[in-house]
Amino acid sequence: MEDKLAGHPQWAPEQAGEIRAYAAPCRPSCPPGAVIVSRLARRARSGDRGGVRDIPGPPDRPDSGLSAITAAGGLHAYQLRLHERYGPLVRFQLPGAPSAVSVADPVLLEATAAIDNRPERLFEFLAPLCEAGNLQTLPAHEHTPFRRALLSVLAGRRSHEAHFAAFTALATDLADRWAATGEVTLQQDLSALSLRMICQYALGGDIDDPAGVVRAFETVLTVHLGRGPQSDDDLTRAGLALAHLRGVVDGVLAAGGSDLVAALDEAGLSAARIRDSVLMIMLAAHHTTGVAVSWTLHLLSRHPEPAARVAAELDAVLGDRPAPSYADLRRLPYLERCLKESMRLFPPGPYGARETIGELALGPHIVPAGTTIFYPFWAVHLNPEHWPDPETFDPDRFTPEASARRHRYAYLPFGLGPRACEGASLAMVEAELVLAVLLRRFRLEPVEEHPVVPVERFVLWAEHDIRMRLTTRFRPPAEP
C-alpha cells in the first residue's frame, strides 16, 4: 500500500500558507545529480566516509523538531526549506524517529529503493484499525507473500476490465447528479465516489447496504484519523462502525465474494488479516484517487489551453459516447499526461518512510541500522535539477521522450521499491475514467472568491475543498 504519513495529527500545519508557498521549488544547494554522484564517489574511494551526524542538517531541539515543523507551516514546507538550505541529503529530527535522513534527489534515492522495512512508531496511528498486526509495518518475510497476493489482483488487467463497467456506472451517476447543479465541491464528491468504487472492487457488487458501508468507513476515518482528542462516545461509535465493516468482509469471505478477498484467502491469510487488508486497501484508495482527480480538475480549470486539448482529445476518441471503454484509455495519452503532471505538483500521498535494518551507504555517508529514511515526494517532484521551472503546470513533461530522459526516481506518486502502492495501476484506471467522464460532460471554472489552499493531512488536501462552476458541453443521448 502506498506511503502515507501526512495524516499524523501532530504534523498537520496549524495555518496554511498560500498555494505558491507550498509549491515553492526545492532548490538543492548541491550541484546536479551527476556531479553529486561524482563527488560522492571520489570521497568514497578515498575512504572519507562519515555517519549520520556528518550529514548536513539543522541543530537538534529538545522537542524532537516538532516546533520547527510547526513554525514552518507543516512537514512539507519544513522539508522544502531543509533541502533548499542543506542540499539533497538532510539529517533532521522527526517526532517518533530519533534518527532521520531525508532524501530528495533521485540519484540518492536509488540507493534506498530495496529497503523493505518501515519505522513502526511513524505508522502506529494506523494500528487501531488492524486486528492481526499493523499491515503498514509487516516485517519483510510476511510482507513479500502478502504483496504478491495483492498484486495478483490489483495490478491485473483482467481484474480492471472486469470492474470497468461498474466503475463507469458510478462515475456516470455522479455526472448525472452534477448536471442538475451549477456548482460543486470536488473533494467531497470525488472522495465519496472513490470510496464507492473501492467498496465495489474490494467487496464485490452484492453487499446489502453499500451506503451503510460508506457511512461506517467515514466514521472510522473521522475518529481514528482526526486531528484532535476524541470523546468516549466518538470511540464507541468508531468501534461499532469498525465491527460493522469487519462483519461485511466476513460475509463476503463466507460467500466466496470478490476477486480480492478470494485471492487473499487462497494465499492462506487468516480471516482477521483479510479483514485488515480490505480495510487498509479501502483506506489507501478512499481519498487518494478522489484527491488526485480533484487537483487535476483544479489545474485544468486554471489552464485553458491544456483543458481545451483534453476536451478535443475526448471528443475525437469518444464521438457521440459519454464515457470511454477500457480500451479507449490507451487512446487518451494527453489526459494521462495531465493526470501525471497534477500528481507531480500535488502528490496525493506526499511522504513515505523506510527503516534501515543494516548499514546503508548514502554517498560518502554510512547510516546505521535503525535509521529512518524519509521520502519527501513533494520535494522530489519540485526539484529543479530534474524538473525545470518546477511550479509550472506542463503536461508535456510526460511525453514518452521527456520521460525517457528523466531519472526513474524523479517521479514517485505511488512510492518506490517493495513498499510502493500495489494499487497504482488500478488507481490510474479509476482516475482516468472519472476524468474522462466528467471532462466529456462539463467545462469547469473555478469559483474565484473561494481560496484553494493545500494542507497536509492523511493526503494532500485542499483545506476548504475546491469549488467549481459547471457548464454542460455534452449531453448524453436519451435512452430509448
Over its length of 480 residues, how does the chain's per-residue pLDDT go in tens digits? 545 443 333 333 322 222 222 233 333 333 333 333 333 333 333 334 567 889 999 999 999 899 998 898 888 888 889 999 999 999 999 887 878 999 999 999 999 999 999 998 888 878 888 888 888 888 888 899 889 988 988 888 888 999 999 999 999 999 999 999 989 999 989 988 988 888 888 877 666 776 777 778 778 877 876 655 678 888 899 899 989 888 888 887 777 668 888 888 888 888 889 888 888 888 778 778 989 999 999 999 999 999 999 999 999 999 999 999 999 999 999 999 999 999 999 998 778 899 999 999 998 899 999 999 999 998 999 989 999 999 999 999 999 999 999 999 999 999 999 999 999 999 999 999 999 999 999 999 999 889 998 877 667 788 889 999 999 998 887 665
The full DSSP string for 271-327 is HHHHHHHHHHHHHHHHHHHHHHHHHHHHHHHT-HHHHHHHHHHHHHHHTT-SS--TG
CA distance 229 to 116: 32
pLDDT at 350: 77
Decide: 11 and 69 in contact? Cβ < 8 Å: yes
φ, ψ at 373 (rounded to 5°): -100, 115
φ, ψ at 183 (rounded to 5°): -145, 140
Q: Quick one: which of 402, 407, 424, 433 has its CA closest to 349? A: 424
CA distance 312 to 158: 29
CA distance 204 to 181: 31
Strands 360-362 and 365-367: antiparallel
CA distance 119 to 353: 7
Alpha-carbon Rg for the chain in angstroms: 22
pLDDT at 172: 97
The full DSSP string for 113-134 is TT-----GGGGGGGGGG-SSS-
Supply 182's cell numbers.
451549477
Provide the strand spans (E) within 107-205.
183-185
pLDDT at 411: 97
Q: What is the dihedral of CA 457, 461, 464, 470, to 10 degrees?
A: -160
Decide: 16 and 453 in contact? Cβ < 8 Å: yes
Percent of the chain as helix, strand, coil, to the nearest 5: 55, 10, 35
Q: Quick one: which of 334, 337, 317, 308 has its CA closest to 473? A: 308
Q: Quick one: which of 452, 176, 430, 444 has its CA closest to 308? A: 444
CA distance 117 to 57: 24
CA distance 187 to 191: 6
CA distance 191 to 439: 17
Rounded to two decimals, what is the model's pTM? 0.85
pLDDT at 479: 63
pLDDT at 480: 54
* Greatest C-alpha distance within the chain: 78
Helix (H) or strand (E) holding 97: strand 97-103
3 state DSSP class of 170: helix
Which residues does residue 184 pair with via DSSP β-bridges, in sequence order? Answer: 468
- What are the structural domains, with CATH classification, of the chain? 9-472 (1.10.630.10)
Decide: 457 and 464 in contact? Cβ < 8 Å: no
CB within 8 Å of 357: residues ≥ 6 apart: 115, 117, 369
Q: Which amino acid is at 37?
A: V
CA distance 369 to 359: 5
Q: How far apart are the first and last CA of the chain?
A: 44
3 state DSSP class of 268: coil
Strands 454-456 and 351-355: unpaired
CA distance 156 to 264: 15
